[in-house]
Every structure is written in C-alpha cells, then in structure tokens.
A and B are shown apart, each in its own frame.
Chain A
Amino acid sequence: DAGITQSPRHKVTETGTPVTLRCHQTENHRYMYWYRQDPGHGLRLIHYSYGVKDTDKGEVSDGYSVSRSKTEDFLLTLESATSSQTSVYFCASATSGSLTGELFFGEGSRLTVL
C-alpha cells in the first residue's frame, strides 16, 4: 500500500475555531483526495487535487478549503469549525485520475467539534 499518513489522527476542538488536517504521501502520486465518513452517508468527497496548486470541489465542499503546495502534501482546512463537521476524515492518493489510478487511503483523522 501507498505510504499515506494523516495528522493529527484525533482532534477535539470548539465551534468557531480553525482546524487544519494534513495528508502526506511518499508515493509521488499526482492525485489526492479528502473524504469524510459519517454514519448513514458512507464516504463523501470533499475536495481533490490533480496536481500542485490544482484543486477542485467534491460533493460536500462547503465550509472546507484545501491547498497543495507540494506533490506530497494536501491540506484540508476548516476555517471556522461547526458541529456538523464532526466526522472521520480520510485522505487518499492515486497515480492517475481517470482510466487507471488505484486509490489508497490514509488511516483517517477523527475530528470532534464541540
């Protein structure tokens, strides 16, 4: 499996505070993704990146922003966390976006917003 690490793995924060989750991959994969997982909703795409400084929105992007300044790092930022953003966040990466490109996941980051 690809070397994908997420930090922090667990975080508790208060409503209104900014939060940044970091994803780091060592596989030189071009594509990176942020998903959130919630009971009853499965895995939903927040944002993805198809290269350095190239990002796009997923299906649940409101309240989130991302940045990718280096191939290996993809940051997810909650500018002002809300309780509805309590979730488990997964980062993933892939060698390709379309025809091929097996997706590999990080270990997940559990965020609790009080």
Chain B
Amino acid sequence: GIQVEQSPPDLILQEGANSTLRCNFSDSVNNLQWFHQNPWGQLINLFYIPSGTKQNGRLSATTVATERYSLLYISSSQTTDSGVYFCAVKTGANSKLTFGKGITLSVRP
C-alpha cells in the first residue's frame, strides 16, 4: 500500500517562530488532508488539499502531487498550535485514508 512519511517527527518552537512540516507519499493521490490533534485529543481538519495551495489565517498548505509531497506552513506560531499534525492520503479508487505517523509540535511561550 501507499507509504506516508512525515518530517520532522518532533519540532520545538519558540512562540512567534515560523515552521514547515512535510509529508511525502509513495504513490499518486487524489485526496490529501492535514489534521491537527490538539492536546485534548480532538482531530481538527486543517486543509483538504489534493493539489495546489490554500491559506487559512496563519496556516497555509501546498501539495505538489506530481512530486508526491505536501507542505504545511505555520507562521507566527502560538502555544495553541501545539499538538500533533497528521497528513493523510487516499489513492486511486480506494476509499480509505492512510495516515502518516504525525509530527509533534511544541510551541513554547
């Protein structure tokens, strides 16, 4: 099956810093999503982005499907950005979403 790799596995930032989270995948995809799992365990949709670029406030994401990667940018990070960021993909006619192992982000005040 498709492999999803996220990097770096862990990231520690000072509040106000910018960061880039990466998701590589091993096959062509027709669906890619980024999720944030907050410290209370909730999984929150950030972006549905099978290709192209989207922005939502301080967060933006870019997926280059032909090169099989997606990037999540966090600017001016805040302590509330802490948590785990997951990338998940679907491929072909498969209706199942495959998740990466996540990137743990800690933003310190």
Contact = CB atoms under 8 A, between A and B. Distances in A.
B100 A1 contact: no
A105 B43 CA distance: 6
A31 interface: yes
Contact of A98 (B30, B86, B88, B101): B30
B86 A42 contact: yes
Interface stretch (B15-23, B51-59, B89-97): B89-97
A27 interface: no
A1 B31 CA distance: 18
Interface size of B as a range: 20 to 34
Given A42-B100, A101-B95, A103-B33, A1 B86 contact: no
A43 interface: yes
A58 to B, nearest CB: 7
Interface of B: 30-31, 33, 35, 41-45, 48, 86, 88, 90, 92-97, 99-102
Interface residues of A, number: 24
Contact of A102 (B33, B93, B95, B100): B33
Interface of A: 1, 31, 33, 42-45, 48, 50, 58, 88, 90, 96-105, 107-108
Contacts of B99: 42-44
Contacts of B100: 42
A101 B32 CA distance: 10
10 contacts: A45-B96, A45-B97, A88-B41, A98-B31, A99-B31, A102-B33, A102-B48, A104-B45, A107-B41, A108-B42
